[in-house]
Amino acid sequence: MAALHEASPRRDKPLVTVNCGAIPENLLESELFGHAKGAFTGAHVARQGRVAAAEGGTLFLDEIGDMPLALQVKLLRLLQQREYSPVGEDRARKCDIRVVAATHRDLEAEVAAGRFREDLYYRLEVVHVALPPLRERGSDVELLARHFFRLAVARSGRGDLLGISPEALAALQAHDWPGNIRALENVIERAVLLSIGPFVELHDLPPKVRGHVPSPGPAVVLPDDGFDLRAHLEAYESSLICKALDRTGWNKARAAELLGINRTTLVEMVKRKRLVG
């Protein structure tokens, strides 16, 4: 949604989001349109709603399929006449906003069942964007996983984590994600909190996700006389850094994004390891 707003002529104006399924029915109208002082018990002062807050910009109505029928009539007026009335006011207020709506429900089925107004459905369906489930967008899983990894690292302060291991990524890509993007984000956040580092590993993922990992390749053979673990890890880390740099034409900012680390960290590692292109 943010990408749509940023790409629009309204990008310099507010983007306001309302989850229609998360706000109690008796509060949703006031939340959307605002209310006058004394409009109901507890309304000690007048309050503007989300529509007014989005003036000139974009109002995103998430889970619009959960909006009560009585409120759908008032939303239809907003879309058709570009006006609304706060709760407790008689006069209409004009507005200039773009409305974008989303839902997980089949609105055509909801219309047939009498739970969604047919006129509102056709008023909303000006431009229809169908977003396939995550299981049908396998190539997006890695991009989203790395994005959520960076967010989770920033929130948790886990600067010691360098990224997600190839085995963990393979499991994430093989999972069917019935909970879609929200489920992926939660799994990554959990893994970041539980991982001992330096990478999020397969065992950091929930069992239901690990269970979808493809069959492992040949087992690693430990030589009888042992080997230098630190040297092998250092070499593996250097190999990943070089691959990321080669893929991005030695653009360190983009390579750092691929590796899930800060650009300054990557620069320091390149200098320490004396890597050259």
pLDDT, one tens digit per residue, over 105-154 is 889 999 999 999 999 999 998 888 877 888 888 778 999 999 999 999 99
Of 175, 192, 217, the position where a domain reaches its end is 217
Question: Are the CB atoms for 113 and 74 separated by under 8 Å?
Answer: no
Do residues 114 and 38 both lie within one domain?
A: yes
* Closest among 118, 35, 108, 113 to 76, alpha carbons compared: 118
Do residues 8 and 120 both lie within one domain?
A: yes
Of 217, 245, 263, the position where a domain reaches its end is 217
Of 100, 124, 148, the position where a domain reaches its end is 124
Strand, helix or coil for residue 200: strand
Strand, helix or coil for residue 90: coil
Give the domain CATH number at 48.
Answer: 3.40.50.300
Answer whether residue 53 shows pLDDT above 90: yes
Compute how many other C-beta atoms are within 10 angstroms of the C-beta atom of residue 126: 8
Q: What pLDDT does residue 221 have?
A: 64
Flag whether 178 is in a domain.
yes
Domain that holds residue 148: 137-217
Amino acid identity at 112? A
Do residues 90 and 170 both lie within one domain?
A: no
Give the domain CATH number at 153.
Answer: 1.10.8.60
Q: Find all residues with CB under 8 Å of 31, minimum gap 6, and list them.
A: 18, 23, 49, 50
Flag whether 131 is in a domain.
no
* Closest among 67, 61, 51, 50 to 1, alpha carbons compared: 61
Flag whether 9 is in a domain.
yes
Do residues 163 and 51 both lie within one domain?
A: no
* Direct distance between the N- and C-terminal alpha carbons of the chain, in angstroms, rounded to an integer: 38
197 — pLDDT class (breaks 50, 70, 90):
confident
Give the least confident one: 60-64, 76-80, 93-97, 248-252. Answer: 248-252
Could you give the CA distance from residue 161 to residue 175 in angstroms, rounded to a whole number?
Answer: 23
Q: How many domains is the chain built from?
A: 3
Radius of gyration for the chain, computed over Cα atoms and rounded to the nearest angstrom: 25
pLDDT in tens, 210-246: 875 554 444 556 677 777 778 878 888 888 888 888 8
pTM value surpassing 0.75: no
Flag whether 180 is in a domain.
yes
DSSP state of 45: S
Q: What is the mean pLDDT of residues 17-43?
A: 87
Do residues 51 and 109 both lie within one domain?
A: yes
Residue 36 phi, psi dihedral angles, 5° rounding = -85, 160
* Closest among 96, 104, 101, 98 to 128, alpha carbons compared: 101
Do residues 113 and 193 both lie within one domain?
A: no
